[in-house]
A and B are shown apart, each in its own frame.
Chain A
Amino acid sequence: MDWGTIINNTLAGLLTPTTIAFALAALGLAMHFGFAGLLNFGIAGFMAIGAYGYAISVLTFGLPWWLGMIIGVLGSIAFAVLLGVPTLRLRGDYLAIVTIAAAEIARLLFLTTAFTDVTGSADGLFGYNSAGGFSSANPFPPGSYGFGPWTYNSETLWVLTFGLGVLALCIWLLWALMRSPWGRVIKGIREDEDAVRALGKNVFAYKMQALIIGGVFGGLGGIVYAAFANVSPGVYVTSITFFIWTALLLGGAATIFGPVIGSVIFWVLQAFLSNILPELAINGILPVDGTQAATLRFVLVGIGLMLLVIYRPQGIFGDKREMTFVK
C-alpha cells in the first residue's frame, strides 16, 4: 500500500475548485433550508444554470468572461423566481418535489440533442474559459505554486483564488444577513410562517429573497466549477444535489461555516476513500474488484447521510438545541 500517495491525495482534497464549488452550493442550501426552512432539492439545477449561463454567454454570444458570469448569476435568479412564484405559497414538501423536478427539466433541456448547437448536448461545453478571456485574466505567471499536496499550476491557482474570493464574499453576505433583523424574520419563517405573517411581515417576499440568495450561491458554485472543468450535463444530476445536502448536514445546516467545513470534510473523505478502497481491493484486503471499490464510497455516502440525519441532525457545528428538523 502506497500510504504516501493516499495521504497526499487525501490532503489535496482540502482545497480544490470542486471543494469550493461544493461549499458555495452548500452555503446556498444553508440559506434555503438551514435558515429559511425551504426544502430545495434542486440545487444542481441552480448550479447547472450558472455554469451553462456563463459558458453559453461566452461561446454563443461572444461576451467577455465576467459578463458571462454575471449572466450565469442572473440566470439562477430567474430560475429562483420561476420556481418561487408558484410554489412558495405551497406546503414545504411540495417545494421539494417541484425543485427536484425543475432541476431535472433544466438538465434534460441541456442534454437534449435539440439544442446541440448551443448546449453541446451530452458532450457539454468547453473552451469558454479561453474564449471569454477568463484564462488570460490570470494574474499568476505560468509555473508551479504551493507545496506538498497543495501544488498547483498557475491555471488552477487562478481558479482557486477566484473561487475563494467568491466564497469569502458569499460567507460574508450570509453572515451579515443572518445577524440582522432580516435574518431574524427569515429564521422566524423557518419556525412558523403563519406566526410571522400575523406580525405583519410579507412572508412570501422574504421567502423569495431567501430563495434567490441561496440560488445565486448555487449558481456561483456552478460557475466556479465551470471555471475549472468543462460544463457537462452529467455533472448536474440529482445525486449531486444529495451529495451537497450530505455536506450541508455534515457541517450543520443552520450555521455559516458548517456548509463550508462540511464540504471540505466530504471531499477529503471522498479523496481518501477513492484512494484507499481500490488499494485495499488490489491488495486483497477487501474481497472486491476495483470498480466495486469505487462504488463502495457512494454506498458509504448514503449510509453516512442516514446516520447523520438520524443521530446528529444539527451537524458537527450546529447548536444542539437549534436542530432544524423540529417540524
Chain B
Amino acid sequence: MNFLSVGNPRRLLKLLIVVFTSLIIGLGLLTPANADTVGEEYDYAVLGNVKIEGVAVGGVRMVVEGSGYSAETLTSDDGSWLIGVPTKDVYSVTLDESTLPAGVVVLEGEPTQEVELGLSGRVVMNFFIGEGERNEVSFVDQFISRFIYGINFGLMLGLASVGLSLVFGTTGLSNFAHGEMVTFGAVAALVFGVFMQLPIWVAIPLAVIASAGMGWSLDAGLWKPLRKKGLGIVQLMIVSIGLSLTMRYIIQFFIGGGTEQLPGFDSPKISLFGAVALSSNDLYSMGISIAVIIGFAVWLIKTKTGKATRAISDNPDLAAASGIDVDKVIRIVWIVAAALAGLSGVLWAYFRPGIKWDMGTQILLLIFAAVTLGGLGTAFGALIGALIVGILVETSGMFIPSDLKYVGALVVLIGVLMFRPQGIMGRKQRIG
C-alpha cells in the first residue's frame, strides 16, 4: 500500500499520482469503466490507471510484451487502460515516458516493469509517476519532508492511541476493535459530508459526535454488562476481536470494498520552506490534532474526571474505595476514546487519502505499537509512542522498500517488548 508516503522530492510533493494499488478481488470493482482496451477477446488482462493527483492523464502509450505476444494502447480520457493477454504468464509492461506531459516521469522503479498474472486472471499495473526527477532533491530535504509527514501521521496515530491506552488503563482490555472505531469516524464523515452533502466543517464535528455516541453505546450495550458478568481479560480481548470482525464487515456491507473520498481531499500543496511543501489539509490536520491533544491533556490533568481516570489506571480498587464512581468514569473513557479515534479516522482519511472498510485494521497494529512503546496504560506515553511510530514509518521509506515501512514499526514494537516491556513512560514493575 503506497497511500502514506507520497512525499518524495519537492516537485513530487506538488504533483503526484494517486495510484490505486488495490487488489482485484474477483468483484471487478476497480475495473476501469471505459478503458481504452485492446485484446478483449483474451481471458487474461493487464490493466491500470494513469492519474496525476487524481487527475486522469489520457493518451499515454502503454505496451505489454511477453510470451511472444505484444500489444499496446493509449490511455483513455479517464486515465484507464486495459490490454488483454492470451496466457497466464509473465509480461513486461512499459509506460512510454515520452507520451507523458512535459517534465513528468516514472518516479519509483523503471518505466518497464514485469507483472505476473495471478489467480484472478487480471493484474493491475500502475506506475508511480510525477513531475521531476528522483535524485534531484537532497537527502536532508527529503528527510525533513518525510519527518514532517511523520509528525502529522504520528499526531493522528496519537489521537487513536491515547484512547486505546485509556481504555487499557482503566479496564485492562486490549481492544482489538479500536481500529474499527477509527474507520467508523471516517465513514461517519463520509455519510455526513458526501452522502448527506453537509458542509465539511459541519460533517466532521458530527462524525466525532457520532463516534462518541458509538463509544457510549458500546460501553452501555456491551462492555459494562460484560464487566458485570465478570469476564476475564482474555475473554474480553477475544470478544473485542469478534466485535472488530463484526464492525469491519458491517462497514463493508454498507460502503462496499472500494475507496471513497471526502470532499477536498486533493487540496494543493503549499511550499513552506526549503523542500517542505504541505497541503492545506496537512496543516489543518496538524492544527486540529495539536489543539485536541492539548485539550485532552488539560482534561486529563485538571478536571475531576481526568484525575479519576488516572487514579483508576493506577489502582482500580483503591479508586473505587475512595469513592470514585468507576463505572461512570469508564463510560466517559469509552466516549472520549471513541471520539478521539473517530477524529483520527477523519484526519487519516485525508492523509491516506481515502476511506476504505478495512483502513482501521491497517493501522491497528501501529496503534498497538505506539501504546506499547509509550508504556501500556499511560496516555502521554502513548502520544510520544505514536509520534515515534509515525516518524519512523514515514522516514523508514527512505531506507527500505516503501511497502515494508510498517515492518519497521512492528519490529520496534517487538524490540520494545523484549528490552523495555514497560515502555518509555511506564513505571518499572514486575512483569510476567
Name A's B-contacting residues (CB within 8 A).
Answer: 39, 86-87, 89-94, 96-98, 100-102, 104-105, 108-109, 111-114, 116, 120, 122-124, 230, 232, 234, 238-239, 242, 245-246, 249, 288, 291-292, 295-296, 298-299, 301-310, 313, 325-327
Q: Which of B174, B253, B407 contacts A97 (CB 8 A)?
A: B174
Q: Which has the most chain B C-beta neighbours within 10 Å: A123, A246, A313?
A: A123
Q: Inside 8 A of A238's CB, which chain B residues have their CB? A: 361
Question: Contact between A302 and B417 (Cβ–Cβ < 8 Å)?
Answer: no
Q: List 28 A-B contacts (CB under 8 A).
A: A39-B234, A39-B237, A91-B431, A93-B233, A94-B417, A98-B414, A100-B365, A105-B410, A108-B403, A112-B401, A122-B23, A124-B118, A238-B361, A249-B238, A299-B249, A299-B250, A301-B249, A302-B242, A304-B242, A305-B245, A306-B246, A308-B242, A309-B239, A309-B242, A310-B231, A325-B234, A327-B232, A327-B234
Beyond A100-B365, A245-B241, whether A302 also contacts B231 by CB under 8 A is: no
B97-135 Cβ-contact flags toward A at 8 Å (1 or 0) = 000000000000000001011110001000000000000
Beyond A90-B417, A91-B432, A108-B406, whether A299 also contacts B237 by CB under 8 A is: no
Tell me the bound Cα distance from A120 to B244 in angstroms: 30
Beyond A230-B119, A249-B238, A295-B252, whether A326 also contacts B245 by CB under 8 A is: no
Question: Contact between A113 and B242 (Cβ–Cβ < 8 Å)?
Answer: no
Question: Contact between B242 and A111 (Cβ–Cβ < 8 Å)?
Answer: no
Question: Contact between B232 and A326 (Cβ–Cβ < 8 Å)?
Answer: yes
Q: How far is the CB of A172 from chain B (nearest CB, A)?
A: 28
Question: Contact between A298 and B238 (Cβ–Cβ < 8 Å)?
Answer: no
Q: Which has the most chain B C-beta neighbours within 10 Å: A124, A242, A295, A308?
A: A295
Q: How far is the CB of A225 from chain B (nearest CB, A)?
A: 14
Tell me the bound Cα distance from A97 to B365 in angstroms: 8
Q: Inside 8 A of A120's CB, which chain B residues have their CB? A: 116
Q: How far is the CB of B413 from chain A (nearest CB, A)?
A: 5
Question: Contact between B234 and A86 (Cβ–Cβ < 8 Å)?
Answer: no
Q: What is the interface of chain B mostly: helix, strand, loop, or mixed? A: helix
Q: Which of B238, B256, B418 contacts A309 (CB 8 A)?
A: B238
8 A Cβ contacts from B305-319 to A: none
Beyond A291-B256, A298-B249, whether A112 also contacts B403 by CB under 8 A is: yes
Which chain A residue lies CB-closest to B240? Answer: A306
In the complex, besides A105-B411, A327-B234, 10 extra interface pairs with C-beta distance below 8 angstroms are A93-B237, A97-B417, A98-B413, A100-B368, A101-B413, A112-B404, A296-B249, A301-B245, A302-B248, A303-B246
Question: Contact between A108 and B238 (Cβ–Cβ < 8 Å)?
Answer: no
B34-64 Cβ-contact flags toward A at 8 Å (1 or 0) = 0000000000000000000000000000000
Chain B: interface residue count, which band?
35 or more
B243-273 Cβ-contact flags toward A at 8 Å (1 or 0) = 1111111101100110000000000000000
**B381 interface residue, CB < 8 Å from A?**
no
**B341 interface residue, CB < 8 Å from A?**
no
Q: Inside 8 A of B241's CB, which chain A residues have their CB? A: 242, 245, 305
Beyond A93-B174, A101-B410, A109-B404, whether A245 also contacts B238 by CB under 8 A is: yes
Q: Which of B119, B239, B404, B410 contacts A114 (CB 8 A)?
A: B404
**B421 interface residue, CB < 8 Å from A?**
yes
Question: Contact between A86 and B417 (Cβ–Cβ < 8 Å)?
Answer: yes
**B229 interface residue, CB < 8 Å from A?**
yes
Question: Contact between A306 and B418 (Cβ–Cβ < 8 Å)?
Answer: no
Q: Inside 8 A of A239's CB, which chain B residues have their CB? A: 245
Q: Which of B27, B235, B237, B244 contacts A291 (CB 8 A)?
A: B27
Q: Inside 8 A of B400's CB, which chain A residues have their CB? A: 114
Q: Which of B116, B235, B369 contacts A123 (CB 8 A)?
A: B116
Tell me the bound Cα distance from A304 to B246 in angstroms: 9
**B226 interface residue, CB < 8 Å from A?**
yes
**B75 interface residue, CB < 8 Å from A?**
no
Which chain B residue lies CB-closest to A241? Answer: B241
Tell me the bound Cα distance from A89 to B118 in angstroms: 42
Q: How far is the CB of A295 from chain B (nearest CB, A)?
A: 5
Q: Which has the most chain A C-beta neighbours within 10 Å: B241, B406, B411, B431?
A: B241
Q: How far is the CB of B17 from chain A (nearest CB, A)?
A: 17
**B80 interface residue, CB < 8 Å from A?**
no
Q: How far is the CB of A68 from chain B (nearest CB, A)?
A: 21
Q: Inside 8 A of A305's CB, which chain B residues have their CB? A: 238-239, 241-242, 245
Q: How far is the CB of B183 from chain A (nearest CB, A)?
A: 14
Question: Contact between A325 and B365 (Cβ–Cβ < 8 Å)?
Answer: no
Which chain A residue lies CB-closest to B177? Answer: A302
Q: Inside 8 A of A113's CB, which chain B residues have their CB? A: 401, 403
Question: Contact between A313 and B414 (Cβ–Cβ < 8 Å)?
Answer: no
Tell me the bound Cα distance from A116 to B241 in angstroms: 32
Beyond A87-B417, A298-B245, whether A123 also contacts B432 by CB under 8 A is: no
Q: Inside 8 A of A303's CB, which chain B residues have their CB? A: 242, 246
B52-95 Cβ-contact flags toward A at 8 Å (1 or 0) = 00000000000000000000000000000000000000000000
Q: Inside 8 A of A102's CB, which chain B residues have their CB? A: 410, 414
Tell me the bound Cα distance from A291 to B253 in angstroms: 8
Beyond A91-B431, A302-B246, whether A105 also contacts B407 by CB under 8 A is: yes
Q: Inside 8 A of B432's CB, which chain A residues have their CB? A: 89-91, 94
Q: How far is the CB of A127 from chain B (nearest CB, A)?
A: 10
Q: Inside 8 A of A246's CB, which chain B residues have their CB? A: 242
Tell me the bound Cα distance from A122 to B113 in angstroms: 14
Tell me the bound Cα distance from A129 to B118 in angstroms: 16
B331-372 Cβ-contact flags toward A at 8 Å (1 or 0) = 000000000000000000000000000000100010011001
Q: Inside 8 A of A325's CB, which chain B residues have their CB? A: 231-232, 234-235
Question: Contact between B401 and A232 (Cβ–Cβ < 8 Å)?
Answer: no
